[in-house]
């Protein structure tokens, strides 16, 4: 489960900010990642809940901006949003290139007290 290593990195980032900002508690952490990024939101939440015990982030809510899968057709040139990986354009059936939805985890913002 690579979510645990992702959470450890998140907690390290939070600690770095805490050392500079001197906040007491984290209320919310907002993250983004692509639908094809290989991240399972439920597993990430579980790992965060377990790993953050006893830390300022304990009990913080995780909010996710899950970016859609976007394919660009090599034949008709149009971009389409699709539910998952596909090798064919949903508009013309041509070959596609995945141009969005495979983004890695990004730390966007957090709300603290």
Would you state the pLDDT for residue 2? 84
SS percent in the chain: helix, strand, coil, step 5: 25, 35, 40
User: Which domains does the chain carry?
Assistant: 3-68+102-112 (3.30.2320.50)
Tell me the C-alpha distance between 108 and 16, whole Å.
15
Report the pLDDT value the prediction gives residue 1, as an integer from 0 to 100.
56
Q: What angle do CA 11, 15, 58 make, to 5 degrees?
A: 55
* pTM (two decimals): 0.87
Divide the 113 residues of the chain into consecutive groups of 10 and give the mean pLDDT of each group.
Answer: 89 90 92 95 96 96 97 97 92 96 95 94
User: Residue 85: what pLDDT?
Assistant: 85
Give the distance from CA 71 to its chain's centroid: 19
Show the tokens assigned to 79: 């971009």
């Amino acid at each position: 489960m690579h979510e645990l290593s992702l959470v450890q990195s998140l907690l390290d980032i939070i600690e770095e900010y805490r050392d500079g900002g001197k906040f007491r508690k984290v209320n919310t952490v907002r993250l983004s990642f692509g639908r094809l990024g290989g991240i399972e939101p439920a597993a990430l939440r579980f790992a965060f809940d377990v790993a953050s015990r006893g830390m300022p982030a304990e009990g913080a809510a995780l909010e996710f901006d899950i970016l859609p899968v976007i394919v660009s057709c090599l034949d008709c040139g149009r971009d389409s949003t699709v539910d998952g990986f596909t090798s064919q354009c949903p508009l013309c059936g041509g070959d596609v290139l995945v141009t969005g939805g495979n983004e890695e985890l990004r730390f966007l913002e957090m709300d603290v007290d």
